[in-house]
């Protein structure tokens, strides 16, 4: 009996095996895939949103600095961009070029604005004064900024400033369309294109003289009219330079 016990003890015992079966591994990978499919698009969207917010804030600050430096120059500031090519070049070289760092500039021609289709409003309609591939307006100046955004500059009458851009002013002023993601889609005012106005009183988002109710309605999925989305930058600025979730999630019709 003792001999049998010694043999039993001496003989190597089978080792316990720990691990996962193939089925368990496949199930785990499937769960990971489902979770990734649900979360990665949201992470990408959040990253794009933060980048757009940073670009908007940066461009606003850059243009403010240009405006301040221009005020110190020994020249009389003219907020009317001439519609002719030579006049537009002279205006840019006099008032903006000395103080603005940029990648390239175009004068009423293609090359500095997206060329993937017309600029649209939040209703899905083509924006007034759209010129596909050139910009929005006539006799316009378009600038490719160093941060990848595009800037469209044009002059508008006091009547248009009030009627279209929600801004009270006594004379011609500048309107600046900021395409925050450059040449990428969707190219919609209120989604990736936002509007600043440069008036004799200063630099403001379009809609500066509108009520909060009007601004919020203009920048919503219920927006109507030919200028739907034009006041979205005002709404974003009022929200601490964060794009509100309801604005980010607007689906253009």
What does the pLDDT look like over 140-192, one tens digit per residue? 899 999 999 999 999 999 999 999 999 999 888 999 999 999 999 999 999 99
Residue 7 domain-assigned?
no
21 in any annotated domain: no
C-alpha 183/C-alpha 163 separation (Å) is 28
> Which of 149, 156, 237 has its CA nearest to residue 193?
149
Can you give the pTM of this predicted structure? 0.85
4 pLDDT more than 60: no
Question: DSSP labels for 62-82?
Answer: HHHHHHHHHHHSSS-------
Q: How many domains does the chain have?
A: 1
Cα angle: 204, vertex 167, 139; to 5 degrees: 85
pLDDT of residue 9: 52
pLDDT of residue 22: 81
Residue 195 is part of which domain span?
Answer: 30-248
pLDDT at 18: 60
| Residue 133 covered by a domain | yes
Q: Which of 239, 181, 179 lies closest to 45, judged by CA?
A: 181
Per-residue pLDDT reduced to its tens digit, 12-51: 555 555 667 887 788 888 888 888 777 777 777 888 899 9
């Amino acid at each position: 009996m003792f001999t049998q016990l010694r043999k039993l003890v001496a003989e190597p015992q089978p080792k316990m095996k720990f691990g996962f079966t193939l089925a368990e591994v496949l199930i785990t990978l499937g769960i990971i895939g489902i979770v990734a499919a649900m979360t990665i698009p949201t992470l990408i969207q959040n990253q794009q949103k933060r980048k757009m917010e940073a670009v908007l804030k940066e461009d606003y600050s850059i243009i403010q600095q240009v405006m301040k430096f221009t005020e110190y120059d020994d020249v009389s500031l003219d907020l009317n961009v001439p519609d002719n090519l030579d006049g537009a070049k002279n205006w840019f070289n006099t008032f903006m070029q000395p103080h603005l760092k940029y990648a390239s500039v175009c004068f009423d021609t293609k090359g500095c604005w997206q060329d993937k289709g017309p600029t649209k409003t939040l209703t899905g309609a083509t924006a007034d004064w759209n010129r596909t591939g050139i910009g929005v307006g006539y006799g316009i100046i378009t600038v490719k900024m160093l941060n990848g955004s595009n800037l469209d500059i044009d002059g508008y009458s006091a009547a248009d400033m009030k009627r279209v851009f929600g801004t009270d002013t006594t004379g011609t002023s500048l309107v600046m369309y900021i395409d925050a993601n450059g040449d990428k889609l969707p190219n919609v005012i209120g989604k990736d294109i936002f509007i600043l106005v440069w008036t004799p009183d200063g630099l403001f988002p379009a809609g500066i003289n509108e009520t909060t109710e009007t601004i919020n309605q203009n920048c919503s999925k219920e927006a109507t009219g030919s200028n739907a989305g034009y006041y979205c930058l005002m709404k974003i600025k009022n929200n601490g330079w964060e794009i509100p979730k309801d604005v980010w999630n607007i689906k253009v019709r």
